[in-house]
A and B are shown apart, each in its own frame.
Chain A
Amino acid sequence: MPTRRKPSTPTGGHTPVSNLSKEAAQISAVKAPVSNPPSEGTNPKTIKPRDDGAEAVKGFKMVEATEATLADLYTAPDTSELSDIGVASFGPPPPATETVHGPDDRVQITTTAVYPWRAHASLLITAADGSRWIGTGWFIGPHTLMTAGHVVYIKNSGVAGRDGWVRNIDVMPGRNGSSLPYGTVKSANFHSVIGWTNSGDENFDYGAIVIPTNLGSTTGWFGFGVFSDGDLLASVGNISGYPGDKPAGTQWYDARRIASVNPRKVFYDIDTFGGQSGSAVYRIISGGRYGIAIHAYGGATTNSGTRIVRPVFDNMVAWKA
């Protein structure tokens, strides 16, 4: 009879923390069988993915890495023309600092009530100081969505009253502009790890949102897994989310091969913009969608997410409800 390894509670920077008391967290967590494969939910109407590891999205053409694009990825930006401190000027941003690298390959998803798109949620975040932010989350279970740590817990903002657990998050799965096919669910139940909440270390920038309804049973959820460097480098990374540069609440998709990995992060040239923090970086295996990282940062030459390594995986299993 096969045995299942009981997930251990991670330690160090991955020590889990919650904004609720232990008792309250236990009460609100729904005890259910835990597994890491994906679920397509109710009546998913899923379109079969392409053979190259990307989603079959009309109008999307995946850009393959060339020597020129790779050189672009690993060349430090020229900072010799930077303005003096204190200068504020308007105009187009310097190309080297964009989080869309080269041509913008993002394609809008309009069939957001179909799996896997409906497993993504537009997030409206209200911070402790009342400021509001947008981000992205993705279901890993009926009640649980993964997102970036900085979506649920603000660290080192320098703004009085802003740092700490956010006040609440409105979760809008499958949102398409003003259309909310699954409504809005408000949550004030969050998880992260002390590597983020205590240290603000980007290597530990991940968290979870637990919603009071089992909406994920309808929308479906993503699987997630721990993969080797070789596996990841041979994978196409897919990202869909809710960027702020596009019409409000619209979902946009892009995919490219993973550029590099280290023991805690995954780096890629997949185009993103502010608002996509918390998106799944996922790969497709035998038609199933598996999260490999949680998108969190836009960089000068690559974007990056927190890699799902064993302690992250164990926390996700523990948080999955």
Chain B
Amino acid sequence: MAGKPGLISGVVRDPNGKPIIDARVYFTGGPEPLPDIAALTNSNGEFTLSAPSAGTYSIESNADGFSPKAATVAVASGQRLHLDIRLER
């Protein structure tokens, strides 16, 4: 593991901008093998994933009743990024 982990935080919202509780957020790829675990958003629709090393990460979010949404983010060592993910029905 190289350097300090980066943090990818964000909020998952519905098409009206309302936070979605219990949306799943997980990596689908990255610069190294990643734990195959998924975060659940809290009551404010928030999540924080740890990016263990610098590089480009693919993230996906999904919730029942919505289509999955993918994001690609480039993270530097120790960097904190914020994503606003809006799921479509």
Listed residue (B36, B37, B42) with the most chain A CB atoms within 10 angstroms of its CB: B36
Decide yes or no: A245 and B71 within 8 Å by CB, A156-B1, A158-B4 being known contacts: no
User: Taking the nearest CB of chain B, how far is it from the CB of A309, in angstroms?
Assistant: 19
Verify B37–A97 contact, CB threshold 8 A.
no
In the assembled complex, which residues on chain B have CB atoms less than 8 Å from the CB atom of A93? 28-29, 58-60, 70, 72
Interface residues of A in 232-256 (CB under 8 A from B): 243-245, 247-248
Secondary structure at the B interface, as helix, strand, loop or mixed, is strand
Interface residues of B in 58-78 (CB under 8 A from A): 58-60, 62, 64, 68-76, 78
Name the residue on A nearest B80 (C-beta): A158
A133 within 8 A of B: yes
Verify A298–B34 contact, CB threshold 8 A.
yes
Q: Bound complex: CA of A150 vs CA of B1, how far in Å? A: 15
Secondary structure at the A interface, as helix, strand, loop or mixed, is loop
In the assembled complex, which residues on chain A have CB atoms less than 8 Å from the CB atom of B81? 86, 88
Q: Bound complex: CA of A274 vs CA of B52, how far in Å? A: 16
A277 within 8 A of B: yes
Name the residue on B nearest A243 (C-beta): B38
Q: Bound complex: CA of A198 vs CA of B28, how far in Å? A: 27
Name the residue on A nearest B56 (C-beta): A82
Pick from B38, B56, B59: contact of A133, CB under 8 Å: B38
Number of B interface residues, CB 8 Å? 49
Q: Bound complex: CA of A150 vs CA of B27, how far in Å? A: 15
A273 within 8 A of B: yes
Pick from B1, B64, B74: contact of A247, CB under 8 Å: B64
B44 within 8 A of A: no
Pick from A88, A94, A151, A276: contact of B29, CB under 8 Å: A94
Decide yes or no: A134 and B40 within 8 Å by CB, A82-B56, A87-B74, A156-B52 being known contacts: yes
In the assembled complex, which residues on chain A have CB atoms less than 8 Å from the CB atom of B54? 85
Verify A131–B48 contact, CB threshold 8 A.
yes
Verify B28–A98 contact, CB threshold 8 A.
yes
Listed residue (B68, B72, B73) with the most chain A CB atoms within 10 angstroms of its CB: B72
Verify A277–B73 contact, CB threshold 8 A.
no
**Segment of A22-30, A42-50, A299-307 engaged in the interface with chain B:** A299-307
Decide yes or no: A133 and B39 within 8 Å by CB, A88-B83, A300-B29 being known contacts: yes
User: Taking the nearest CB of chain B, how far is it from the CB of A248, in angstroms?
Assistant: 5
Decide yes or no: A297 and B28 within 8 Å by CB, A85-B75, A87-B73, A94-B58 being known contacts: no
Verify A303–B5 contact, CB threshold 8 A.
no
User: Taking the nearest CB of chain B, how far is it from the CB of A293, in angstroms?
Assistant: 13
A74 within 8 A of B: no
Q: Bound complex: CA of A92 vs CA of B29, how far in Å? A: 12
In the assembled complex, which residues on chain A have CB atoms less than 8 Å from the CB atom of B29? 93-94, 96-99, 298, 300
User: Taking the nearest CB of chain B, how far is it from the CB of A147, in angstroms?
Assistant: 10
Known: A159-B48, A303-B33. 18 other contacts (CB 8 A): A82-B56, A86-B81, A88-B73, A91-B70, A97-B28, A130-B42, A132-B40, A157-B5, A157-B50, A158-B6, A244-B24, A244-B26, A245-B24, A274-B28, A276-B36, A297-B36, A298-B27, A298-B36
Binding site for B on A (CB under 8 A): 79, 82-94, 96-99, 124-125, 130-135, 148, 150-151, 156-159, 200, 202, 205, 243-245, 247-248, 272-277, 295-300, 303-304
